[in-house]
Every structure is written in structure tokens, then in C-alpha cells.
Amino acid sequence: MHYRLEASDLEQLLDALKADGYALLGPQRQDNAILYDTLESVADLPQGWTDQQEAGQYKLKRREDAAYFGYVVGPRSWKRVFLPPRKRLWSATQQDGVWSISEEPLPTQKVALIGVRACEIHAIAIQDRVLREGPYPDPYYTTMRAQSLIIAVNCTQAAPTCFCTSMDTGPNATFGFDLSLTELLEPAHCFVVEVGSPKGQALVETLGLPAANDPDQARAQAGVDQARKQIKRTLQRDDVKALLYRNLEHARWDEVASRCLSCANCTMVCPTCFCTEMEDITDLTGDHAERWQRWDSCFHGQFTHVHGGPVRQSTRSRYRQWLTHKLASWEDQFGTTGCVGCGRCIAWCPAGIDLTAEVKAFRESEHTQENNKR
Amino acid sequence: MTQKPKLAVWKFASCDGCQLSLLDCEDELLAVAGAVDIAYFPEATRRMVDGPYDVSLVEGSITTPHDAERIVAIRKNSKKLITIGACATAGGIQALRNFRDVKEWTSLVYAHPEYIDTLAHSSPIAEHVKVDFELRGCPINKMQLVEVLAAFLNQRKPLVPNHSVCVECKLNEQVCVMVTQQTPCLGPVTQAGCGALCPRYLRGCFGCFGPKENPNTASMATQWRTSGASESQIFRAFRGINGYAEAFRLESERSEQRLQPTEQEAK
């Protein structure tokens, strides 16, 4: 069952969520990008703006229409909500020789995520397997996930960096949402709404949304099809794991390492990368200590530091670790791929390194070898 | 009551900015003064207590024969020696002399060059004595200084990550100026520590904290070229405050070689 929400009534949806006690997070235009941040009202949305993305490039541009969700994805992903960049885990204070440890209280604020893309829902599901469903659930992550509500927005346009169709993660959301919206600009600006949970159903009833008619539903489908058609980047997935495992000593790793800055931007913007570092600090007196968790990256030397130095010293070994984990050993470890095809690592790499091109290079070199044999 | 550790602050060829970071600690300054006995710090107090010192902070580079002798004496008189700032860890901006003929320069600059007793190179402290920790920055970050002092006082490892400035941008959730604006930025090859100050104001990183661990300066230079930066811009970016730090030095030398033919063409 699909419903119809007039664009002019979008505020009512936000108001209903607020009334239900949710803090709203959603897209807005900040510092030359569209970022997810605290949302007060519809006026904060990046209406009439879009993003243009290429390898190592991201630019905002005015749209000719009044679309609220007429962009693709920006540098922030939703992982910041569940796995914040920095988080204090506990602090300890010494008084008269006795230490008292206080654990950081868990958050109680419910959050509604507005404008979650299909690939991002898959990314959340991937992180769920690691941080929520694994043998050591992260308490903060688990708490935030339990009190989050997801309003998905189906993609009706794609960026040149997108390859969700290769990863089977988009362009439309098929699970993991409370409500999903498909924005229609013509003949009237409205949203076709799909319900994905009892909470979503309750929202639709609160708002008293009418059913969407067939033409609206067809237009929504056409929008999603349009996005699908726009996607030109591909990553052949079926044998990528075996392909990478067969080529662990390939010269291509040296070639990509000559371009890779090992700056870690790809892992920071990746919606599935979950590695964190523990940082312990004290004050000058030594009477107060804190433990913090912060995002870490397999591109850091410190990441594999053991007695005597880092295990992965070269950029070659770090890039290889990242790519083989993302596309191959992630599957061995968690039963899914670690990539959702959002293209963030391509757009936000200052050197414009494109993992789909790297995978193709391995595949083509094997073809060349095969042909040479014949 | 046990005696407080004795802290000394020494100056070599430098602008004093890093020492000032200690005075600039404001809120933390009283805590610092409470945790250590500031035994020698001429910039702050005329009270001077003789060594040995538990911790010596050394600012500045070695540029004269007298400096070279003095740092050896300071090392002997210090249990722990920590260098602070780009001058002390990489030779500083005055290390630009290392790429030219100092005698020629002194003859151009001074009326009586014979009075000038200087070394051919401006060198980091670690080229002369064993250094226990090098704190980067031009100037250093005062919170990192407090962290390093706290670590040494509590006999733990200082929490001073050697990853890129990019990581600070991302942890602060700042948007990349290079990707969005094609702004030439040294962030991907520069060590974190400033809190990504320049990108926060939509400027590119100047590399004040020197090369990060495992820096790929060649790819960085290529990227700048692709974004339209001139070769002399690239040359100057790498030959700056940290121009004598190895990775930046090598890249500026490569860039200089590219620059020379074009300069000749211009002539």
C-alpha cells in the first residue's frame, strides 16, 4: 500500500516526528556540501540544490526545480549517529588514594534520520552485523539503533560515482526503513510514501495520508528507473573475492600505492568502515583519567603497530588490506560484502582513486595474461 | 611532600612562539605551575634554578657553533628532553639557508659579515643530541603541549597521533576544501595536531606540522598540478616552515628540478 504526501505537507511529517519525541537529523547545505545534521524544519533542507560528483571532486549546483532531495550523497554518512567520530567511554578520578570510575551514560534521545538513501540502509545493515549482532555488541551503537527511526528517500537521480546497482543496494530502499519517500516534481510536487514498519504505519495514520493513485506510483517507479539508468559505474561482484585473492602480489598494488596518499579519507567517509582506536589520557596531576574511542583507519601505521613497529608499513600493503577487506575478506568475516556502492571513497579521495577502476585493472590484466597464453 | 619535577624551557634559533604557547595555556597554566617547578624559563620569569632538570623543553634550531655546544650541555643536565616546534624538530624556516650558500647571504645582508659566526646549516636538535620526544607544529598546539607534559609526568606515552590532517578534518566533520574547491591543501601529507585549523576556515593546509607518517608527497604534488597549481606554488609549499624535513625537502628538490627548465625558458 502506497500513500501520497503533498510536498507542502512535509513539515507536518517532521512535526509529527518531533511531537513523538524524535530529534531530527537530515540533509542541509553547509560549507559547500550537503551534510546530515540537526534539522529544525523543512526550511533547513537543501531545496533546489544538487551535487555534482566525480573521482576526487564534489560540487554543489543550483537545480532548476524545487526538489528537497535532489542530491545524491555527501561526505557525511549516518554512521556518525551510531558510531560518533569521537566518544568518551569512561572517566576515572582519584581522591585520597581511591579511584572511582564513571561510565559514560548511554544516550536516551530518540532520533529520526530523514533522507536515508538505499545504499545507506544497506551500510547500516552491514554495520549492524558488526556492531550490533556480533559477539561483542557496542552498547552505544545498539542503544542508538534501537531508538532511531528511518525515513528513506529513494533515489531518482544518480551521480557518476554511484554503483549501487552493481552491489544490489539501490537505487530504491527495499527494507530497513520506517517510511520511504519517492519525490515527484510533476505534475504536482509530492511524495509517494511506502510503509516499512508499524511505527511508519502509525505516522501515516497520524498524518491521515490518502492512498497514492496508480499514475503517482508509476511516476515514482519511473523516477527510480531513471536513477538506475543513470548509473554507469560498475563493479563486477560475482568473482571479485577470488579475483583479489588470486592477485595479492600483483604489480597493480604498487601502481595504486604510487597514487594513494594513505590520508585515510576513504575510510572516514565510508559508511561501513567501523574501525576505532582507544585513546587513554590523564591530566597533569594524574588524578583524572579518561578513555576515548575515535575513528581509526587501516591506512595508519599506528593501526598495526605491535612491538617493533607497524606490520603494514607500506602504502601498498595498506591499500591492499583496505580493498581486499572491503570486497573479499569482509565476506569471510561477516558474510556480506563491505561495500555498498555509494561512491564516497571515489569522490572524497584527494587523489581520485576509484576502487571500481582498480578491480577492473586486476581483471583486465588476467584477461591479457589469458590471451597471451593462447 | 615529594618535590615537584623541575621544568626548564630553552631557546635556540626561533621566534619564541612555541614557548609562548606554554604561557598561552591560560586555563591550564595554573595546573602546569602546580604540577611542575618552573625552574628555568627566562621568557616567563627571572627566577633561575640550577639543574639538573627533570624535563627540558627545547625550542629552536641549531645555527651557530655556540648553539651546538650549548645543546650538549643542556642534554647532560636534563633527564628528559622534548623539542617543541618546527625549528627544533626540522630546522625551521631558517633552514632555507641549507639550500643556499650562507657565506654569500651574510655578505649581502650584513655590513660586517666578519662578525657573523654561523653554521652552514640550520639543523634540528635531534641531529645533535638524543631527543626523547619531538612535538611538531609552527607553532605547537598548546593542548598537545599540556598532553605531552602530562604524559611525561605520569610516565605514559604521549597521545600525539602521526596521521594526516585529513583525519582531523573528518573527525571534526569539516568538508574537504580540496575536493569541493580544488584548493591546494597539504593536509593529506601533513601530520595532524593543529585541529585542522586552516581547512576550518576554508583554507588549504600549509603543512605547519611537517610530514605525516608515510607521506606520499609525489602524489600530492601531482594532484596539485592536476588542480591547476603552478610549479613554483608547489615548490614553495614544500619548501616552507618544514622545508628541511626529509619528505618535504625531497619533494621541493624534485619540484625545483622541474622549475629550472621553465625559468630558463622564461629568460
Min Cα distance B161 → chain A (Å) is: 8
Q: Report the residue of A34, A261, A319 to disrupt the B interface, i.e. the one with the largest count of B CBs within 10 Å.
A: A261
Q: Mark whether B201 and B238 lie in a shared domain.
A: yes
Task: For an interface test with A, give the residue of B22, B159, B175 to mutate (most A CBs within 10 A).
Answer: B175
Judge whether B137 and B22 are in contact, CB under 8 Å: no
- Does residue B66 sit in the same domain as residue B110? yes
Residue B160 lies in a domain: no
Give CA–CA dist A260/A319, Å, rounded.
8
Q: Give the pLDDT of residue A234.
A: 98
Q: Is residue B159 part of a domain?
A: no
Q: Does B158 fall in a domain?
A: no
Residues of chain B found within 8 Å of residue A312, distances taken between Cβ atoms: none
Tell me whether residues A281 and B147 touch, CB distance under 8 A.
yes
Number of domains forming the structure of chain B: 2
pLDDT of B267 reads 53
Are A295 and B171 a contacting pair at CB < 8 A?
Answer: yes
Q: Cα separation of A59 and B183, whole Å?
A: 13
What does the alpha-carbon distance between residue A191 and residue A171 come to, in Å, rounded to a whole number? Answer: 16
* Residue B211 placed within a domain: yes
Q: What is the pLDDT of residues B51-61, one digit of tens each?
A: 899 999 999 99
Of A167, A198, A230, the domain-final residue: A230
Distances (CA, A) of B208 to A131, B156, B162, B192: 37, 26, 13, 9
- Does residue A370 surpass a pLDDT of 90? no
Q: Are residues A214 and A306 in the same domain?
A: no
Contact B13, B92 (CB under 8 A): yes
Residues A170 and A275 in one domain: no
**What secondary structure does DSSP assign to B15-74, as a single string?**
-SHHHHHHHTTGGGHHHHHHHSEEEE-TTT-S----S-EEEEEEESBB-SHHHHHHHHHH
Q: Which helix (H) or strand (E) holds A280?
A: strand A276-282
How many domains would you assign to chain A? 2
DSSP SS3 for A344: helix
Q: What is the mean pLDDT of chain A?
A: 97
Residues B177 and B200 in one domain: yes
Judge contact between B208 and B239, C-beta under 8 A: no
Nearest CB among B163, B216, B220 relative to A264 is that of B163
Domain boundary among A230, A257, A286: A230
pLDDT value of position A371: 86
For the cut 90, the answer to whether the pLDDT of residue B26 exceeds it is: no
Cβ-Cβ pairs closer than 8 A, A with B, add up to: 138
Is B111 found in the same domain as B17? Answer: yes
B136, B108: one domain? yes
Average pLDDT over chain B, rounded to an integer: 94
Whether A235 is covered by a domain: the verdict is no
Task: Report yes or no on A90 lying in a domain.
Answer: yes
Same domain, B82 and B11: yes
A34 shares its domain with A180: yes
Average pLDDT over residues A192-197: 98
- CATH of residue B121's domain is 3.40.50.700
- Provide the domain limits for residue B222: 165-266
Q: What is the pLDDT of residue B262?
A: 59
Query: Would you list the DSSP string of A78-146?
Result: THHHHS-SEEEEEEEEEETTEEEEEEPPPP--EEEEEEE-HHHHHHHHHHHHHHTSSSS--HHHHHHHH
CB-CB under 8 Å, A284 with B35: yes
Query: CA-nearest residue of chain B to A264?
Result: B167
Question: How far is the alpha carbon of B223 from chain A, nearest alpha carbon, in Å?
Answer: 6
Torsion of CA A128, A131, A132, A133, to 10 degrees: 80
- The answer to whether position A110 is within a domain reads yes
CB A313 within 8 A of CB A298: no
Q: How far is CA B90 from the centre of its chain?
A: 6
Residue B97 resides in a domain: yes
Chain B closest-CA separation from residue A341 CA (Å): 19
- Are B216 and A269 within 8 A, CB to CB? no
Q: Which of B120, B153, B186 is the last residue of a domain?
A: B153
Over 60: is that where the pLDDT of B264 sits?
no
Look at residue B243 in the predicted model and tell me its pLDDT.
97
Q: Are residues A185 and A301 in the same domain?
A: no
Instruction: Please tell me whether residues B101 and B202 are part of one structural domain.
Output: no
Give the pLDDT confidence of B165-181 residue by residue, as tens digits: 999 999 999 999 999 99
Domain that holds residue A165: 2-230
B145, B23: one domain: yes
Residue B23 pLDDT exceeds 70: yes
Residues of chain A with pLDDT > 90, as a percent, come to 97
Interchain contact B27–A (C-beta under 8 A): no
pLDDT score at B27: 86
Q: Per-residue pLDDT averaged across A114-131, rounded?
A: 98
- Asked if residue A21 and residue A145 are part of one domain, the reply reads yes
Let me know whether A132 and A81 are in one domain: yes
Q: Where are the alpha helices (DSSP H) in A183-307?
A: 198-207, 214-230, 240-246, 252-259, 265-269
The pLDDT value given to residue B266: 58
Nearest to A351 among B31, B167, B223 (CB): B223
Same domain, A224 and A286: no
Q: What is the least distance, in Å, from the CA of B106 to any CA of chain A?
A: 39
Q: Looking at the complex, does the CB of residue B188 fall below 8 Å from at least one CB of chain A?
A: yes
CB contact under 8 A, A302 and B162: yes
Whether residue A337 lies inside any domain: the answer is: yes
Predicted pLDDT at A112: 98
Nearest CA in chain A to B191: A263
Tell me if A258 is assigned to some domain: yes
Last residue of a domain, one of A205, A230, A255: A230
Residues A213 and A328 in one domain: no
Mutate to test the interface with A, among B1, B152, B167 (most CBs of A within 10 A): B167
Specify if B116 maps to a domain: yes
pLDDT digits (tens, 9 = 90+) for B83-113: 999 999 999 999 999 999 999 999 999 999 9
The verdict on A183 and A44 lying in the same domain is: yes
Q: Which of B121, B153, B185 is the last residue of a domain?
A: B153
B29: nearest CA partner in chain A = A284
Question: What is the model's pLDDT at position B25?
Answer: 87
C-alpha cell at A370: 589469458
Q: Is the pLDDT of residue A372 over 90?
A: no
Grid coordinates representing A259 are 597514487
- Whether residue A282 and residue B149 make contact (CB cut-off 8 A), yes or no, is no
- From B109, B124, B153, give the residue that closes a domain: B153
Residues A189 and A334 grouped into a single domain: no
Model confidence over A270-329: pLDDT tens digits?
Answer: 999 999 999 999 999 999 999 999 999 999 999 999 998 999 999 999 999 999 999 999
Across the interface, of B171, B213, B219, the residue whose CB is closest to A351 is B219
Q: B219, A263: Cβ pair inside 8 Å?
A: no
Nearest CA in chain A to B181: A59
Residue A75 has pLDDT above 60, yes or no: yes
A34 phi and psi angles, rounded to 5 deg: -100, 115
Identify whether B15 is part of a domain. Answer: yes
**Chain B residues within an 8 Å CB radius of A258:** 216, 218-219
Q: Is the pLDDT of residue B1 over 50?
A: no
Q: Is residue B137 part of a domain?
A: yes
Q: Of B32, B185, B219, which has the smallest distance from its Cβ to A259's Cβ?
A: B219
Domain co-membership, A160 together with A264: no
In a shared domain, residues B21 and B123: yes
pLDDT tens readout for residues B39-78: 999 999 899 999 899 999 999 999 999 999 999 999 999 9
- Note whether B88 contacts A: Cβ–Cβ < 8 A: no
- Residue A68 predicted with pLDDT over 60: yes
Nearest C-alpha of chain A: how many angstroms from B64? 35
Residue A103 lies in a domain: yes
A216 and A362 share one domain? no
pLDDT value of residue A131: 97
The 10s digit of each residue's pLDDT in A84-105 is 999 999 999 999 999 999 999 9
